[in-house]
Homo-oligomer: A and B are copies of this chain.
Amino acid sequence: MSEKVTIYDIAEKLNITAATVSRALNNNPKIKEATRELVIKTAAAMNYKQNKLALALKSGRSNNIGVIVPRIDSNFFASVIRGIEEELYPHGYQVIICQTHESIKRENENLHTLVDAQVDGIMMSVTGVSNENDSAFRNVLEKNVPLIFFDRSKHIDGVSSVTINDFKGGYLATKHLIDEGCRNIAHFSGDQSLDIFKNRFLGYKQALLDNGIEFKEEYVIYTKSAVDAGKESVDKLLQLETPPDALFSSSDFAALGAIQELKERNISIPNEFCVAGFSNEPFTKFMELSITSVDQSPLEMGKMSARVFLEQVDKTDTIKIEKKVVLAPELHIRKSSAKTNF
């Protein structure tokens, strides 16, 4: 029905050329004021809409940015995306979502697809199990597409990142458990090819060290971020000759599983056993036995990633800016670990 109106249609109607129309609409200073007004009025009257695809082809900029996450249906990633979208919306960028489902193959596919679609930038949380094949990332950078890692980062030249201080997060949580009087503190970690898990682990270790508590290898379990995995893992811990009296889990879901299992065994939380998680998922606050957790301020992380992108996108591409933003984690102390204050 609605035939598309182009600048040529406007030009024809006004007996001028498309070039003049284009200049008028773009506020080119060389255009006579009267002409500009006439063109703008006519364009509005004809319901002209700029063809973004033509513009994109000509300029090489699509006004789209790509976001790659392991999955979107997690509160953390969804919140980051929300932050990105809100920050970029006023600048006219659209956000394209891709999921990797923790597959390297999908991650590489997504990177290529986004580059092919000529997005103006890519923000992503990398997938673990790195085969150390950085070619897909290099390809992005060679095309001069700004690449920004958030949360899950990797050391690649030319890539900016926005992360939280996972070491500090791990340290804070562990220190808190120590302050509550726990001395046998277990740890659930995750995929060691991801820095976030390594750093939380290191923070945990350091807190033990700083407080004169011996680190025990058997207290560390590498587990998936899932409720069932948490149940199974705490099960193993309780079979040790000296079972732990506290747990710092790198995952809220695994922490929840642990709590469920402990309750079934009638182990009293926090009196006999303290638990702290990581991510501050909404449910940690909602539970009757609310769960202590480290907040990663995902909304802020998303906004910050977007800002870093905006800084980079207009810079001359000869100078490679590499910005590393590290946000501060915040420990939310709740019933699962607070023997005293609740």
Chain A contacts with B in 142-178, Cβ cutoff 8 A:
142-144
Determine whether the beta carbon of B72 is less than 8 Å from that of A143.
no
Of A18-26, A34-42, A73-81, A303-311, the segment with at least 4 beta carbons within 8 Å of chain B is A73-81
Chain A contacts with B in 40-75, Cβ cutoff 8 A:
49-54, 56-57, 60, 62-64, 71-75
Of A194-202, A207-215, A284-292, A324-332, the segment with at least 4 beta carbons within 8 Å of chain B is A284-292
Determine whether the beta carbon of A99 is less than 8 Å from that of B85.
yes
Determine whether the beta carbon of A98 is less than 8 Å from that of B85.
yes
**How far apart are A116's CB and chain B's nearest CB, in angstroms?**
6
Judge whether A108 is part of the interface by a CB distance below 8 angstroms: no
Given the known A-B contacts A96-B96, A142-B2, A283-B283, are A82 and B86 also in contact in the complex, defined by CB atoms under 8 Å? no
**When chains A and B are docked, how far (Å) is the Cα of A144 from the Cα of B1?**
8
Determine whether the beta carbon of A99 is less than 8 Å from that of B75.
no
Chain B residues whose C-beta falls within 8 Å of the C-beta of A50 in the assembled complex: 116
Determine whether the beta carbon of B2 is less than 8 Å from that of A143.
yes
Chain B residues whose C-beta falls within 8 Å of the C-beta of A227 in the assembled complex: 286
**A82: contacting residue among B99, B144, B288, CB under 8 A:** B99
Determine whether the beta carbon of B75 is less than 8 Å from that of A71.
no
**How far apart are A307's CB and chain B's nearest CB, in angstroms?**
18
Given the known A-B contacts A94-B117, A287-B286, are A72 and B78 also in contact in the complex, defined by CB atoms under 8 Å? yes
Determine whether the beta carbon of B82 is less than 8 Å from that of A71.
yes
Determine whether the beta carbon of B117 is less than 8 Å from that of A52.
yes
Chain B residues whose C-beta falls within 8 Å of the C-beta of A71 in the assembled complex: 82
Judge whether A95 is part of the interface by a CB distance below 8 angstroms: yes
**When chains A and B are docked, how far (Å) is the Cα of A62 from the Cα of B94?**
13
**When chains A and B are docked, how far (Å) is the Cα of A144 from the Cα of B3?**
11
Judge whether A97 is part of the interface by a CB distance below 8 angstroms: yes
Determine whether the beta carbon of B288 is less than 8 Å from that of A52.
no
Judge whether A256 is part of the interface by a CB distance below 8 angstroms: yes
**How far apart are A75's CB and chain B's nearest CB, in angstroms?**
6
A selection of 13 A-B contacts at a CB cut-off of 8 Å is A1-B144, A50-B116, A53-B53, A53-B56, A64-B96, A71-B82, A72-B72, A72-B85, A73-B81, A73-B299, A75-B75, A85-B98, A85-B99
Q: A56-B56, A81-B97, A288-B289 are in contact. List 16 more A-B contacts (CB 8 A).
A: A2-B143, A49-B115, A53-B56, A53-B62, A53-B118, A64-B117, A72-B81, A73-B75, A73-B78, A78-B78, A85-B97, A94-B96, A94-B117, A96-B96, A227-B286, A287-B288
